[in-house]
Structure 1
Amino acid sequence: MDIKNLTITMLMAFIIVVIIGPIFLPMLHRLKFGQTVRDDGPQTHLAKNGTPTMGGIMFMIAITITVLFRAKLDSDIFVGLVCMLGFGLVGFLDDFIIIKMRRSLGLKPWQKIAMQFVISGYVAFYQYTSSPAASKIMIPFTDKFLDLGILYVPIMMFIIIGTVNAVNLTDGLDGLASGITAVVSTFFVAFALFVAKDAGVATFAAATVGGCIGFLVFNVNPAKVFMGDTGSMALGGAVVAFAVLTNSVLLIPIVGGIYFAEALSVIIQVTYFKKTGKRIFKMAPLHHHFEQCGWPETKVVFIFWIVAIILAWIGVVAGF
């Protein structure tokens, strides 16, 4: 797989999303799959009430079709798709329950974590048993590897679940999660192609880049559709699949630094509030803090995109 073919893969996924969009959006309107914005969120977001959600289905379809047509269908690709679609299904059930069954919290926490546990366990166990060297993960900025041995599966499950939920928390502004994931996926295209020498993962990542950029056509401010938990959890599943399948999960906190800054801001906010009754951030996740500081939504998204690009280049130094 060369750069030309990977570019074709990106374009294919992009075009599929752009074609699906005008068909899918009216369907979401008819089904009344509209977003309900929290009253305790930024007041500027109240105007978004009723905007169709669950739009992540669009790029999930595009990525899956593109990968099936463009990649050699081996067990790695199958597991990668299971990771993306499995976590996407968890998000879909959460969205569906909230919207159609009028339950504010969607899936119960134990239901959500149980499903995430099963998917992450499957992916981690597959990788652990795929080769004798599978438990060795690369250490960024070095040419050394860390052999996790028998601890590989539980540690990897923790990383997978943490990453997916971090990506989920990043989805809060128009174009934020899709734009950042396009950048992160572009990094993994290059890493899989030039370092890991894994054409399948490179193709999968390229399809994800195309799908995310295609979705941005409908998701940039003012968004015509939101991806919902359906899309954000699917993207989290895709990103972590790239890293697990190339034994490079320690690169995710670097390249996906925005994801983890968002998750860390929530952890810090909740922990500090429970201990002191006070808040460190004006609002969490982090993107809402900057909104509350007076930044327009478009500025927050643009700055976060730029930071994501810088982190991706740092990832190049760390991983190449």
Structure 2
Amino acid sequence: MDIQALLLTALAAFVIGVLLGPIAIPLLHRLKFGQSIREEGPKHHQSKAGTPTMGGVIILAAVVLTTLRFAFGSLDTVMMLVATVGFGLIGFADDLIKIVKKRNLGLTAKQKVILQALLTVILFVLLYREQGQEALSVHIPFTDAAVRLGYLYMLFLMLVLVGTTNAVNLTDGLDGLLSGSAIMVFAAYAVYAYWHTSYDVALYCAAMVGALAAFLVFNRHPAKVFMGDTGSLAIGGGLAMAAVLTHSELTLILFGLVFVIEALSVIIQVFSYQTFGRRVFRMSPLHHHFELGGWSEWEVVILFWLASFICAFGTLAMVSH
């Protein structure tokens, strides 16, 4: 396989996504699948209420169709799609409950944990069947060393999957923010997987780049559609599985450092407020801190895209040596 195949895969996913947008968005409008905006968020976001959500179905369709066409044939591909579609369905259920109940809260924390745990078990079984004992070790970044966890790896896998999906989900707060940031990370991972001869993973990541670029056509400011948890959880699940299959679970922290910082900003804010009664940030996640500091939405998005590019491709440059 050559780089041309990656570019063709990304282009195919982009074309599918761009064609699906004008079909899916009016349909979401007719179904009244409008976004509910949390009251504690920035006040100017209230104008976005009613914008169609669950647009993640566009991303899912483009990625699945393209991957099945260009990369289907290995258990790696099956695992990538199970993670993407599985977490996407959890997000879909979450979004649907929000819409039906007309509130900003969907599945309960307990329901999410149970569903995510079941999905983790399925993925662990598939992973062990594919890689055997090799699946039970975690590789240390920038070294040839690995730590053998044995069957405790299943708990580690859940930590990677749940941690990544939640961090990615928290980044989905501004028009185009997550779409553009995730493009950078998946593009870097496509190259990383290609270097490590994980060709099916590389093709999947290329498909995700194309699908996200297509979604960005409709999601850029002012957004015509939001991806909802349907999209953000699917993106997080796919990204986490790409890291698992390339044995770069810990390196993912650096590739997706923007997502990590977004999640940490929430953790720090909650801890500080509950412990000391004071807020560290004007609002969390971090992108809202910049907004309330007077930055325009587009300025914040560009900053995060640039940061994501530097983190993803900076990490790629480091691991290439």
Cα displacement (A) at 1:27: 0.4
1:159, CA displacement in angstroms? 1.5
1:1-320 mapped onto 2 (5 Å cutoff): 1-129=1-129, 130-194=131-195, 196-320=196-320
Distance in 1 (alpha carbons) for counterparts of 2:178 and 2:291: 16
> How big is the shift at 1:189?
0.5
Distance 1:72 1:104, change over 3 A: closer
Matched to 1:183, the amino acid is M
Counterpart-to-counterpart distance in 1, 2:9 and 2:313: 23
Distance in 1 between the 2:104 and 2:300 partners? 27
Compute the displacement of 1:120 (Å): 1.9
After superposition, the Cα gap between the structure-2 partners of 1:67 and 1:148, relative to the gap in structure 1 and judged at 3 Å, is same
Q: Deviations over 1:103-141 (max 9, x none)?
A: 441111111111011112222343244223222333222
Whether the 8 Å CA contact 1:127–1:244 is kept in 2: the answer is: no
Kindly provide the CA deviation profile for residues 189-227 of structure 1, in whole angstroms up to 9, marking residues without a partner as x.
011111x21111011111000000010000011100000
- Which secondary structure does the structure 1 equivalent of 2:269 belong to? helix
Equivalent-residue separation in structure 2 for 1:77 and 1:193 (angstroms): 14
1:101 is displaced (CA, Å) by 2.7
Q: Identity over aligned residues, as a percent?
A: 47
Contact between 1:10 and 1:210, CA under 8 Å: does it hold in 2? Answer: yes
| Residues 222 and 104 of structure 1, relative CA distance in 2, 3 Å threshold | closer
Tell me how far apart the structure 1 counterparts of residues 118 and 48 of structure 2 sit (CA, whole Å).
34
State how far apart, in whole Å, the 2-side matches of 1:126 and 1:306 are: 36
Corresponding residue SS for 1:132: helix
Report how many aligned residue pairs link the two structures: 319
Q: State the TM-score, normalizing by the size of structure 2.
A: 0.96
SS at match of 2:114: helix
What is the rounded CA distance, in whole Å, between the counterparts of 1:16 and 1:29 in structure 2?
A: 20
Pick which of 116-125 and 30-39 moved more.
116-125
Structure 2: give runs of 5+ residues left out of the alignment. none
1:242-274, CA deviations, whole angstroms, 9 ceiling, x for partnerless residues? 001111111111010011101111111111111
- Letter aligned with residue 275 of structure 1: T
SS of structure 1 residue aligned to 2:134: coil
Structure 1 stretches of 4+ with a deviation exceeding 3 A read none
**Residue aligned with 2:182, SS:** helix
Q: Which moved more, 1:121-130 or 1:9-18?
A: 121-130
Contact preservation (8 Å) 2:265, 2:286: yes
Structure 1 pair 140–146 and aligned structure 2 pair: CA distance change class (3 A):
same
- SS at 1:146 equivalent: strand
Deviation at 1:157, TM superposition (A): 1.1
Q: Which amino acid aligns with 1:188?
A: Y
Give distance in 2, aligned partners of 1:317 and 1:258: 17
Shift of 1:158: 1.1
Give TM-score, length-normalised by structure 1: 0.96
Is there any run of 5+ residues in structure 1 with no aligned partner, and where? none
> Could you say what secondary structure the match of 2:259 adopts?
helix
Amino acid at match of 1:71: A
Separation of aligned partners in 1, 2:301 and 2:133: 42
